[in-house]
Structures are given as C-alpha cells and as structure tokens.
Amino acid sequence: MRPTGGTRLAIQVACLVLPWALRRRAYQALFGWEIHPTARIGASLVDVDMVRMGPDASIGPFNVFHRLRLVDLAEEVVIGRYNWFRVADAVLEHPDTRASLVAGRQVVITQFHFIDVSGGLDLGRLAVIGGVRSTILGHQPDTRRVRQQPVANSLADRAMLASAVAMAPGTHLAENVVVAMGSSIRGKLDEESRIYAGNPARPVADVPEAFVTRETNEG
C-alpha cells in the first residue's frame, strides 16, 4: 500500500536533502509516480495520488498541491512558484470530483495563483496562466441538493489569463483567447483569437497574429 496524505508529505520533506536524481527515484518507487528523467520537482508539497511528468516538465519551489488525484504534465510544462492547487474538502466524496490538473505541451503557470481543481482543470498546449494572483474555482453550491458540486474548467490551445483574473466554475476558453488583467469570466468564451476584458469579460479586440501562430511559450 502506497503512502498517502500526511505520510506522503512527510516522506517528501525528508527527501528534500537528497539530490534530485535520488529524490525522483524515491518518488517513483514509493508513490508510483511517472517522472521523466529530465523533469524536475522543486521544494514543493505534492499531496497527489498520481503524478506524470513528461520531458523537461518542471514544478518550481514553494507550491502546494492538496488532495489531488492526478497531475499530468506534458513535455516542457513549467509551473513557477507559490501556487496553491487544491480540492475542496466539501466535494472529496462527490462522484464528479476529478481532482485533476492536466496540462498539454509547454503550458506555463507563473506564480501566486489559487487554483481549485475539484472538477478538473484541462490546459491545452501553449496555454498560459500568467502574471500573478488569478483565482480559478472548480466547485459551486448545488442549492437543490444543498451540497457543493465540482465543476470542470478548461483553457484550449494557446489561451491565456493575464494577472488577477477571476474564473468562475464551468468556464471554458476557446483557442487563442486572451483574458485581460483584472477581468472576471464565466461560461464559454467561444470567440477564438479574441481579447476579453471587463467584469464580466466581453470580447474587445482581436489577438495579434504573432500570438495565434506561435509554437513556443519561451520569452
């Protein structure tokens, strides 16, 4: 039986003194995680049942992953630092609770974001959660049943959140959508290659062609 919860976190803290190559092998042997030899996890607390990391994927220091079932990062995904990924306690036993973060190639999540993945968060390739202090909520009240309901969110390929965006449960961004700083979003933002802004956000301009056709998130 593999360690879970507090035992898993205690093992991770104890392993922090090890070189990364040995720490990776310990995580694979003890937790069953699938971590590519070129992937890396910094000094973060990762309370996750299954972690899969592709080539050159990285999780920086000082992140917290709380009670997730799955973190699946494709090649060259970059998660910065000081991010909090969590599952709401109220939906842990709900049948619709995916409790997962799934990120495609070269996704970037910068720093200081609060991300609730209770219903699952799917990020298409080259998607970006940028800047600082965005909030993504993955559950909401079900007033008929008087309980909390997990709800999925997603960003399609090359979609991007700027700083301090508030994403309500059940929000889905189409390809190449950019959400401006300080906006609040809900539902389907389905006009591709558009900039959305405001509270609630509305399409206000076209996304530049260079953003739409990019093949990397470097720079």
Residue pointed to by tokens 């079900």: 142
- Contact call for residues 97 and 152 (beta carbons, < 8 A): no
pLDDT of residue 1: 83
Per-residue model confidence (pLDDT) at position 219:
58
**Residue 103: predicted pLDDT:** 98
Is-contact 212 194, C-beta < 8 A? no
pTM of the model: 0.96
List of the chain residues with pLDDT < 70 = 219
Instruction: Measure the CA–CA gap between 179 and 69, rounded to whole angstroms.
Output: 28
Here the tokens at position 23 are: 């720490």
Tens digit of each residue's pLDDT (9 = 90 or more) over 186-200: 999 999 999 999 999
Quote the pLDDT of residue 24: 97
CB 82 within 8 A of CB 63: yes
For residue 193, what pLDDT is reported? 98
Map out the domains of the chain with their CATH numbers: 42-212 (2.160.10.10)
d(CA 192, CA 9): 41
Q: Give CA–CA dist 7/53, Å, rounded.
A: 22
d(CA 198, CA 165): 10
pLDDT the model gives residue 168: 98
